[in-house]
Structure 1
Amino acid sequence: MEIQILNAIQNIHTSWLDACMIGITKLGNHGLIWFGLTLVLLINPKTRKIGIMCTLALIIDLIGCNLVLKHFFARPRPYMVNPNVHLLIPEVGDHSSFPSGHTAMAFTIASVFYLNKFKGWQIIGIFAILIAFSRLYLYVHFPTDVLAGILIGIGCGILGVKIYQSKRQTN
Structure 2
Amino acid sequence: MGIELQILNAIQTIHHPILDSIMCGITKLGNAGIIWILLTAILLILPKTRKTGMILALALVADVILCNGILKNLVARTRPFDVNTAVQLLITRPHDYSFPSGHTAASFAAVSALYLAGEKKLWKGACVLAVLIAFSRLYLYVHYPMDILGGIVVGILAGAIGYYGMQWIGKKRDGK
Which residue of 2 is the match for residue 14 of structure 1?
Answer: 16
TM score, norm. by length of structure 1: 0.96
Counterpart of 2:110 in structure 1 is 109
Q: What's the % identity of the aligned pairs?
A: 54
Matches within 5 A, 1:44-59: 44-59=46-61
The residue aligned with 1:131 is 133
- The aligned residue for residue 166 of structure 1 is 168
CA contact (8 A) 2:55 2:117 kept: no
Does the residue aligned with 1:120 lie in a helix, a strand or coil? helix
Alignment-mate amino acid for residue 13 of structure 1: H
Counterpart position of 1:157: 159
Measure how far apart 1:67 and its partner are: 0.8
Query: After TM superposition, which residue ranges in structure 1, 4 or more long, deviate above 3 angstroms?
Result: none
**Cα deviation per residue 1:45-93 (whole Å; 9 max; x = unaligned)?**
1110000001111111011100111111111100000001121112112
| Alignment of 1:83 onto 2:103 | no
What does residue 31 of structure 2 align with? Answer: 29
Unaligned runs of 5+ in 2: none
The separation in 2 between residues aligned to 1:39 and 1:167, in whole angstroms, is: 19
Q: Does 1:97 align with 2:104?
A: no
Native 8 Å contact 2:33 2:106 kept in 1: yes
RMSD: 0.9
> Aligned AA for 2:148?
V
Rounded Cα–Cα distance in structure 2 between residues aligned with 1:156 and 1:131: 18
* 3-state SS in 1 of match to 2:15: coil
Does the aligned pair in 1 maintain the 2:36–2:107 contact within 8 Å? yes
**Across the two proteins, how many residue pairs are aligned to each other?**
170
Shift of the alpha carbon at 1:138? 0.2
Shift of 1:133: 0.3
